[in-house]
Structure 1
Amino acid sequence: MIKLIADLAGYDGIFNLFRYITFRTIAALVTALAIALVLGPRFIDMLRARQGKGQPIREDGPEWHLLTKRGTPTMGGLLILIALSISSLLWMDMRNGFVWTALLVTLGFGAIGFMDDYDKVTKQSHKGVSGKVRLGLEFLIAGLAVSYIASRTGFTLYLPFFKDFGLYLGLFYIAFAAFIITGFGNAVNLTDGLDGLATMPVVIAAAAFAIIAYLVGNIRFSDYLGIHHVPGSGELAVFCAALIGACLGFLWFNAPPAMVFMGDTGSLALGGALGTIAVVTNHELVLLVIGGLFVLETLSVIIQVVSFKTTGKRVFRMAPLHHHYEKKGWKEATVVIRFWIVAILLALIGLATLKLR
């Protein structure tokens, strides 16, 4: 909105700053952070008053979770979505379809997560909305988003380590990209099991993709690096910054011991956002590296289920992976910080693919 006002007013005086993505990126981060910090206390009090017993805690999980986490309100992802939406609408170029697509996918996935959280809280059950219904709605939203994106960026899957080289997939690309968006929504959801565990890796991944979006959207940088240029994708750096600010503001209240959980409302939305940004920038495969922590968490669940159903044995003491290490005796803070370190390393490796071509 501010960008649109600057466009209408002309770029004279202070309005000249608003033409630069870098300035609006910083402004979006600060704005989202401030909104989350200001709204946070009253918002959490409202959730606590409405939810009573809070989020149901897994009884088959680490025993101390039942003692320390019971009664903590969930749906804190709404705080992230509010801060993200307001900041994005203030600072983004409202004529840019890519940012609107990313925002709508994020809100759509957040709505699905909200329905699931609401069902769990009201029924005090872990079941929530049917998995088939959730996945169906997620694929519908992702498919519509990818159809729009591909109509502007093409149907080619670009490969890391190769200069502007990719595989033309045709309409199969829509199914593949929709799977990436849906898969990452659920991957972040699986990772969100400890205080702050999912939030900071999302911040790290969003920071990496803010850089990627800016470079891919700039024809000079993309030509120098040998990566596919996507006109208009640089505006996603503003969206990524708003996402980072909103998550950092939420983390202020989610740091151990958490005052609130993001719930599926937040985790599905954040994963869907990362997946959409990766599709717009044609860096779907690089997302598997940058978001490798989420991939590992998801693989641990898949391996555990397949192993138990086929052999009757469990590979991990408990899945997802973070619970395995808790069962081994690691403290929650130890698991969280070490996983953050892994997320940073994977993000750096993912960014290195920009130059190693």
Structure 2
Amino acid sequence: MTSETSDRPVLAVDIGTNTVNTLLAAPGETPVRQTYYTRLGEGLDADGSLSEQAMGRALSVLGEVAGLAEQAGVASVGATATSACRDASNGGSFLARVGEVLGTVPRVVSGDEEARLSFMGAVTGGIETFGPAGADSLVASLEGPVLVVDIGGGSTELALGHLAGGTATFTASASLQVGSVRFTERYLHSDPPRPEELSDCLSVAEATLDEVLSVQPSFGSATTLVVVAGTAETIGAVELGRWDDRELHGLAMSKAQVEDVFRTLATEPADDRRHNPGLPPERVDYIVAGCCILVTIMRRMGFAECLVSIGSVRDAVWDEMVGPANAGTVDKSSSPVAGSSSEAT
């Protein structure tokens, strides 16, 4: 950013399988986060392409976002696209249409790059402001090896790093083809899900995780588990009984609490599930599959608790746009080296 634009807001946009997530802020100001539910990846796992209806929903939302950006007088817009656009046969043509609406063509990030961005956003993002060692960022309060898990609609990213003295070093990543939308459409066909459907979902999640851990045993060195994005925030909100970003950020949930939320939601039909305080209606259909993925990770890797961070990919995209003077406290010189990244199907 130039000196002429450094005091103007910057908009980060993350286009995911289930949601479009935005973050608007000028350097040093309180960020404004918005989540829009588009179900862009609906039917993708079966058809291999984005449906016209799903693309229409996303383009409508992005048109609204573009209007808000214009009203705010943003200096720049940075956009990323993740699992759905990576996988779809028509992802490129969809993003060209997005470019016409948003004014910039989103960058399709690989699974490993998505993991890196999730790590950066998770440890530096906060409620109030950005900047080195923000008081409410996890990098300011945690020490040691940290595993960040981003459970999305189409994929789940794992990112390992080390936090010390208010700085963070990213070391390894993996992307798993397991996600809340993908697994719901593939395995959870009954309402409520039958035990055998849940068993299939859990078994495939565990097998996929085991494959990654066999290639990347270093993930097992993490002593802290940080979870980000919609599934994690929703589980936290259901546990709290309300959705409040200030309470969710840094929330510690024991394995028993996560298992209890899973058990409750998995045994309720959707019409009952939607009445749980804290559960957004747009996540009623997909949250059980997301729970399957998180409990699998906690069971298999032996984590007794997890911490929720509201920081995510959009925080990292914003951070990288504003440049070193206003960036967070991640050591960006660290990147995956040979053998330190993997993608599992």
- The structure with the larger Rg is 1
State if a TM-score over 0.5 links the two structures. Answer: no
Which protein has the bigger strand share? 2
Higher helix share: 1
Identify which of structures 1 and 2 has the higher relative contact order when contacts are C-alpha pairs closer than 8 Å and 6+ apart. 1
Q: TM-score, normalised by structure 2?
A: 0.28
